[in-house]
Amino acid sequence: MSSSDDDIIYGLHAVQAALETNPDTVDSLWVDEQRKDKRLDAIFSAARNTRLHVQAVPRAKLDRICNGGRHQGVAARMLPVRLRRESELFELIDRAETTPLLLVLDGIQDPHNLGACIRSAAAAGVQAVIVPEDKSAPLTAVARRAAAGAAETVPIFRVKNLARVLKQLQEHNLWVVGAAGEEAQSLYDIDLAGPVVIVMGAEGAGLRRLTREHCDYLAAIPMPGIMESLNVSVATGIFLFEAVRQRRVR
């Protein structure tokens, strides 16, 4: 089986996270035959637990597999992440044992940002991440490396019509809160303790018009400093963990 850039992850942290969080998604594992230090012990241990064969190869082969990326002596071929069907989203919400917290990423273009947002979603206990089929970065190995294993654990839904899905979520009694830096309303003045959908827009362009129109609230992160904007993955973390904070207070 040949490898492609889209199914290869590399680096100690990324590979270990994949082996420990969702080992069924790891198809092949390679390590530098010259590397014998303790940092690989966790990789070998996780591989033994999954009965995955570890292939010791020359460093030059690892360089080729990783297309020159900084692999730290380890790489893995991943099976594709299963993107969920739209119908499964509402089944998931109906079965949720905790107050729903969902994340919508409306047209994130950079796979690093996509992965970082998914990682924050996993850390915050988000039940689902929703992305549109069009104008959104695919879930490539770059995104999966940035997600550090979260892409294999958080359900990800790719939907055809995001506006329709937002309307359906509202009909399921979820409030839709969109991030809009130009808004006067502060994030910290919105009740995020109940069932809520956080919607983040694309880098630079922000939320699309139809997406904005389907938000119950639009809010900004107060920034008293000299910077007027934040990276979308940073902003996502702030929105999500404000919801987490409010839920802990209640």
3-state helix, strand, coil in the chain (%, to 5): 40, 20, 35
Query: The dihedral of CA 70, 74, 76, 82: what is its sign?
Result: negative
Distance CA 52, CA 23 (A): 9
Asked if pLDDT for residue 250 goes beyond 70, the answer is no
Structure tokens at 191: 């009740």
pLDDT band at 6 (very low <50, low <70, confident <90, very high): low
Dihedral through CA 171, CA 175, CA 178, CA 179, nearest 10? -160
Asked if pLDDT for residue 5 goes beyond 80, the answer is no
The domains of the chain are located at 5-78, 86-249
**86-249: CATH homologous superfamily?**
SPOUT methyltransferase, trefoil knot domain (3.40.1280.10)
**5-78: CATH homologous superfamily?**
Ribosomal protein L30/S12 (3.30.1330.30)
3 state DSSP class of 199: strand
Structure tokens at 25: 């998604």
Of 1-5, 75-79, 179-183, the one with minimum mean pLDDT is 1-5
What is the DSSP annotation of 17-79? HHHHH-GGGEEEEEEETT--SGGGHHHHHHHHHHTPPEEEE-HHHHHHHTTT---TTEEEEEP
Q: What is the pLDDT of residues 92-124, one digit of tens each?
A: 998 888 999 999 999 999 999 999 999 999 999
Q: Which residues pair with 206 in a beta bridge?
A: 202
5-78 and 86-249 in the same fold = no
Instruction: Give kind and range of the element (H or E) at residue 200.
Output: strand 196-201
- Tell me the CA distances in angstroms from 171 to 91, 209, 243, one per residue in order: 14, 20, 21
Best-predicted range by mean pLDDT (10-14, 37-41, 103-107): 103-107
pLDDT of residue 24: 81
Q: What is the DSSP letter of 229?
A: -
pLDDT band at 221 (very low <50, low <70, confident <90, very high): very high
3 state DSSP class of 123: helix
CA proximity to 40, closest of 53, 25, 30, 50: 30
Structure tokens at 29: 């594992």
